[in-house]
Structure 1
């Protein structure tokens, strides 16, 4: 088997968990994966933007691409599932994504990449089908994987391998819908302190390079006016601004040129900064 590039986004991010996942994925796919830990205050928002950016980064190539496998393990924070949320899969071009069924993570793909549905799997159904058809698994081993609390270690890499091998994995389609939230949040704070927002700049109410928007300053507990600019180089040195950033499809960024917007405004991942109807 030709080694398949694997990128894993996960909130199981302690060193022990990362080591086990890396070893299992490498064993199954023949190459050491890139495991990206998402353990901040809002891993769902960070995963949503990171997954969108990851798939977008495979565009504008100018020729054939190498198939990529992306694993996403970010469980919804709702607690409604008896042994964890189900896992689903979908394809983006030649690339395969296996993910937890997390509407907040998947919704931006509906809006900006045209994702209409995913295929939802049941752990027991898939493992029993595999054991009966193509995998050397005993009933006791099937039960062990079904009951485990670390399904992103034991189940997801197997599911991904079977899908890349073209196995007839049973699944049911589920529609994916665009995000309904009206608040604009900080999705990612980059290493410069720029706050990457979770909406395109053109979707912000009143966004225009000649205007300003009311942004929540968490440090001061009030809203302050911040000027809009086309690009980061247009922002005066040392001043804050809202620009079209590098993420998503023209997603907005709250920046301070030569400084840290996160520090100036007291913002972190998941914080609300704007309201779409304001």
Structure 2
């Protein structure tokens, strides 16, 4: 069995859940995984940016890379699926990603990494194929995993292990569409209080213009004009600015040099900053 590093992004993140997931993944892959809990008010937005950043971090290496397995468990908040959203998989270079079929999480990968298609799996179909081919699973065990709502614990690590081992897992292809014009939101508030937005700076209307962009200050109940700068060091100390940040492909960040933009503007993860839909 090849040992592969595993990174898991999940909104099922209490201590008990993290312990069970870590132990199961370690049992299957022979190494303790890195489990990143996404517990903020907008886990879909945080997962979208974090997954994009995670895959981008494997670039600019200058040579061969070690394959990484990434697990993403962020269920859409629409209540549409009878027993939870399906799981899909795709590869980015040598790296394997297993994810809930969540358009908001996957759409940035289509726009900025060229991921055009994922392979959608059915739990029962995959487990029965595995039992008929390479896994020792009794019918009762299959039924237990098919019926459980905790598929991210029981099913996803198995799917990842089997795909990493090169097994022919049944799946159907589904296209991934890039995001359409939309509200620009805070995806992540970092430990400095910088607000990482979910769009490249150059795609903000008026970013390259002489005037700043209007940002709503929730404390004062009014819009504030914030100038745009290329980098954080270009922002005057103590002043707000919109810069090309460290995330995504030149994604924008609302910052205050030497302070917390989140605190000053009253912003949290998931809050709207601009509206590009009109």
TM above 0.5, yes or no, is: yes
The TM-score, its normalising length taken from structure 2, stands at 0.98
Equivalent position of 1:98 in the other structure: 98
Query: Contact 1:186–1:197 (CA<8 Å) still a contact in 2?
Result: yes
Is 1:117 the equivalent of 2:117? Answer: yes
Looking at structure 2, the residues matched to 107 and 277 of structure 1 have their Cα atoms a distance apart, in angstroms, of 17
Partner deviation per Cα, 1:50-108 (whole Å, 9 max, x = no partner): 00000000000000000000000000000010100000000000000000000000000
Indicate how the Cα distance of structure 1 residues 234 and 210 shifts in structure 2: closer, same or farther if over 3 A, else same.
farther
Give the 3-state SS of the residue equivalent to 2:19 in structure 1: helix
Q: Contact 1:68 / 1:96 at 8 angstroms: preserved in 2?
A: yes
Counterpart residue number, 2:241: 241
Residues of 2 paired with 1:87 and 1:191: CA distance? Answer: 31
Where structure 1 has 5 or more consecutive residues not aligned to the other structure, the ranges are: none
Aligned to 1:140: 140
* Residue 276 in structure 1 maps to residue 273 in structure 2: no
Q: Secondary structure at the match of 1:129?
A: helix
Give distance in 1, aligned partners of 2:181 and 2:120.
Answer: 24
- CA-based RMSD of the aligned residues comes to 1.0
Distance in 2 (alpha carbons) for counterparts of 1:211 and 1:231: 17
Comparing 126-135 and 41-50, the one that deviates more: 126-135
Task: Classify 1:122/1:56 alpha carbon distance in 2 versus 1 (closer, same or farther; 3 Å).
Answer: same
> What residue number does 1:13 align with?
13
- The CA distance in 2 between the partners of 1:181 and 1:269, in whole Å, is 19
Secondary structure of the residue aligned to 1:71 is strand
User: What corresponds to 1:89 in structure 2?
Assistant: 89
Q: Which residue of 2 aligns with 1:182?
A: 182
Partner Cα separation in structure 1 for residue 257 and residue 71 of structure 2 = 34
Conserved in 2, the CA contact under 8 Å of 1:75 and 1:84?
Answer: yes
CA offset at residue 182 of structure 1? 1.6
Q: Is the 8 A contact 1:208 1:228 kept in 2?
A: yes
Gaps of 5+ in 2: none
User: Any conservation in 1 of the 2:181–2:277 contact (CA below 8 Å)?
Assistant: no
SS of the aligned residue for 1:187 comes to: strand
Deviation digits for residues 185-229 of structure 1, max 9, x if unmatched?
A: 000000000000000000001002743001122222222110111
For 2:249 and 2:211, the matched residues in 1 are separated by: 21
Aligned length: 278
1:251 matched to 2:251? The reply is yes
Summarize the alignment of residues 147-162 of structure 1 with structure 2, pairs less than 5 Å apart: 147-162=147-162
Q: Runs of 4+ in structure 1 displaced over 3 angstroms?
A: none
CA distance in 2, matches of 1:197, 1:30: 36
Distance 1:26 1:17 in 2: 14
Instruction: Identify the residue that residue 47 of structure 1 maps to in structure 2.
Output: 47
Q: Is the 8 A contact 1:87 1:101 kept in 2?
A: yes
Matched residue SS, 2:72 = strand
Contact 2:6 2:70 in 1 (8 A): yes
Distance in 2, Cα, partners of 1:252 & 1:209: 15
Equivalent position of 1:68 in the other structure: 68
SS at match of 2:70: strand
Deviation, 1:181, is 4.4
